[in-house]
Structure 1
Amino acid sequence: MNIVPLPDLMIEPLVRAALLEDLGRAGDITTDAIVPAGNLVRMVLRPRQPGVVAGLDLAVLAFRLIEPSIEVSVVKADGSRIAADETIATVGGPARGLLTGERTALNFLCHLSGIANATRTVVDAIAGQKVKVVCTRKTTPGLRAIEKYAVRAGGGSNHRFGLDDAVLIKDNHIAIAGGIRPAVERVRASCGHMVKVEVEVDTLDQLESALSLGIDAVLLDNMPPDMLSKAVGITAGRAITEASGRIAPDTAPAIAATGVDLISIGWLTHSAPILDIGLDYL
């Protein structure tokens, strides 16, 4: 899988902040006391379990911001499936730099690989269906760009990145506005013609009302598969259909079979378990 990497300009502030948090006020006092300054070593990044790789650029940057002379040879690029104990990358250079950057590098790599692996699990569960798996805005504060990148590395796609790149009219918006129609009309009067409009609905009557207004997408919230099938039939291609609400790998196939265009899943970014990866001395 060919994953377009994020530019260093985006990821470097995150890695620098994480390293500074770890280095504190005196640096790595353990490594500096034990390891001679000129000691050169080779180490290898290996997973303890099978999964999907994501976040290598951040891991590499964590090492190189500590010690620019560290060399990295990538064996499995982001988006690759890996077996337990398979080599992801080898790293070589001053032992002090490798040990000091180790935890920050692994924090990013394990977390993002966990998201990619969780995404791939759902994508595999619905293989052969036209539906796409997308993430949400339920991300770790400050890490949205890289967590959404990890979803792409796992074979998923991204929903909106923030409040400013698309309109999603949810239940509270509708309640405060006094209905779907006034909410959509206010959006149309305020936002530019390039902004897409999606409306969240949880009944078929609400769906009919939203579709009558020519919106771009409907979020079908917490609907069971039989109701989703009816909603897809009613929509009949007039808008993009998105299913959402507690979707897991075992429930995704039935939801995908209803014909919805998208399945959005919040836990991919807010609750995916890490992929256990270690840095081993050769």
Structure 2
Amino acid sequence: LLELGFDAGRHTGMFDQQTELALRNFQREYGLTTDGICGAETVRALRQLTPKVRGGRPVLLREQERVRKAGPRLRGKRIVIDPGHGGRDRGVVVGTHSEADLVWDLARRLEGRMQATGMEALLSRGPDQCPPERERARFANEAGADLILSMHVDANASPQASGVSTFHYGTGNGTTTSTVGETLAGFIQRELVARTGLPDCRTHGRTWDILIGTRCPAVRVEVGYLTNESDRSKLADPAFRDTVAEGILVAVKRLYLLGENDQPTGTFTFADLIRHELAKAE
């Protein structure tokens, strides 16, 4: 369907409402029964046409065009911030520190900064809630979010494991990916490595529910290892969590700047960002 020019969304392997709509459009244009069911007749028609249209990445083009049309200003952008775990699910727990509490605090700091720029920031859960990932993704879809940012910290059996990593939707084959999600993951990873001094564990494509179930680009950030003494000490510091929140916000700004009026990684401050927003408003 994507190769034929029908907007079925990202290639996720899930037959969702957008896939059904694209299939109905194809059936209508090809003179088939418009029932949204991929039966034998529809499969035969798809196979007959597919060899005629090879190559290209229409999903890439659509995602990039949405970002371009959204413009460089942050004001009006709707972002869902997803603090992992919550409620009885505390995530990683080491001593008095729990993943659920740390990412909740981080999410609130990011929420405040986003609202200060005129963005609409929505939290996917409350402090005592732990909805499954599919519900969090559904919340973002129903809210009409432009982006979803999922916050986590990591753990490892080895106390030496340390660093920050960022994940986006992708299957690892180089073509099936969320292009904008991959770009944003790269921006976030570079900003956090430059600002926090945490080792660079790089960006990776995954098919987790929170990444595959959203219509908008989604990323998941693993900010340090709670099982590492140095990372844990940093995560326990509110000033460090402020630094992480600022880095993520700046990365979102870089996404919408599309390379224009940008600054070197790690140098764009929250004050710079506010001035940039005010200048654009004038």
The alignment's TM-score, normalised by the length of structure 1, stands at 0.23
Larger Rg: 1
Structure of greater relative contact order (alpha carbons < 8 Å, 6+ residues apart)? 1
**TM-score normalised by structure 2 residue count:** 0.23
